[in-house]
Amino acid sequence: VRKIGVMTSGGDSPGMNAAIRAVVRTCAYYHTDCVGYFRGYQGMINGESMDMNARSVRNIVNMGGTILQSARSKEFMTKEGRAKAAENLRENEVDAMILIGGDGTFRGGKAFSDEHGIPVIGVPGTIDNDIYGTHYTIGYDTALNTVVEAIDKIRDTASSHNRLFFVEVMGRDAGFIALNSGIGAGAEEILIPEEDLGLERLLDSLERSRRAGKTSSIVVVSEGDKIGKNVFELAEYVKKNLPDYDARVTVLGHIQRGGRPSCFDRVLASRLSVKAVELLLDGKKDLMVGMVNNEIESCSLDQALKGKHTINKDLLRISEILST
Ligand code: ATP
């Protein structure tokens, strides 16, 4: 492997820049050329790239977003699109790719490598933490800190006005953000996609809290919770059934994806990306790097795609105990 390409794809996440920097600097350290592709797979298809050296990534370790930008590419979902990307890489003499993104990115990467024999290594970058083969994904820790800070502020107004706040956080299929930020911010209830707690239970719990003398409450709701109502309908339902509560809704939205990466995410991105380059230089392919019990490991992209990273359900029990 003499020249390695790197790109970021899917939803951006804080720490992607630290990952790009680590890929580029590790290539420089091992005297291997490095080229960055813009806007994920779309840039590979369009041949939009930039030669990168150790100095091209100065002052980015602390920046949110991704200097290579990200995109979702419909064209790459087709065989023709992937063939165009392979042709561009060959023209540019790129021997292998490092793909920083989520599971969609890895699915595309596997198809690409199978069809064109260009080795790829995946680096998990997404705030959702929903990737098998790693305990943490790049951006998740920063997102948790952003959410907790936002809920702390909401708590101030909730307690000043005796209000009940429903705070919707990201996580369509996974409750990692809701569960951990909910415990960190001291939420009354946490609603996640993995567990349908039911409306009755929610009402009971809120009613019990009220009777126990709580005058304000925070309920953290994951985007994809299974209770069958969106967060606004949920607030209306509670207002109707528990008229003593003044229920409000806050949807945190995209602030969760932005901001300076935490130290944890920078170190994680650095460790994973150094390993990703070293695996390629070692002749390995079609793997994903991950952190398991604080060690950097790798598994096949197939395993990462087939497996499911499950939440720790004990956290639900802890949340219940602590909201007594
Ligand atoms: P996030 O978890 O933040 O959403 P992601 O990597 O899962 O990140 P996706 O939009 O699902 O984000 O995937 C990124 C890109 O990967 C897609 O826009 C598409 O170009 C490519 N891709 C996804 N699935 C496939 C597939 N089955 N075949 C080929 N390419 C795919």
Q: What spacing in Å lies between the alpha carbon of 260 and ligand 1's midpoint?
A: 24
pLDDT at position 275, please?
Answer: 98
Is 82 annotated among the ligand-binding residues? Answer: no
Instruction: Quick: pLDDT tens for 35-91.
Output: 999 999 999 999 999 999 999 999 999 999 999 999 999 999 999 999 999 999 999
Task: Please state whether beta strands 33-37 and 295-300 pair in parallel, antiparallel, or not at all (unpaired).
Answer: unpaired
pLDDT at position 277, please?
Answer: 98
pLDDT at position 231, please?
Answer: 92
Select which of 12, 33, 128, 265 is catalytic: 128
Residue closest via CA to ligand 1's atom 10 equals: 10
Enumerate residue ranges in the chain where pLDDT < 70: none
pLDDT at position 318, please?
Answer: 95
Length of the chain: 324
> Which atom of ligand 1 lies closest to the CA of 76?
20
Q: What spacing in Å lies between the alpha carbon of 124 and ligand 1's midpoint?
A: 12
pLDDT at position 222, please?
Answer: 94
Q: CB–CB of 105/97 below 8 Å?
A: no
Q: What's the complex ipTM?
A: 0.97
Instruction: Quick: pLDDT tens for 171-203.
Output: 988 999 999 999 999 999 999 999 888 888 889
CA dist 192 to 52, 76, 139, Å? Answer: 42, 32, 20
Ligand 1 pocket check for 122: Cβ under 6 Å: no
- The model carries a pTM of 0.96
Nearest-angstrom CA–CA distance, 315 and 85: 44
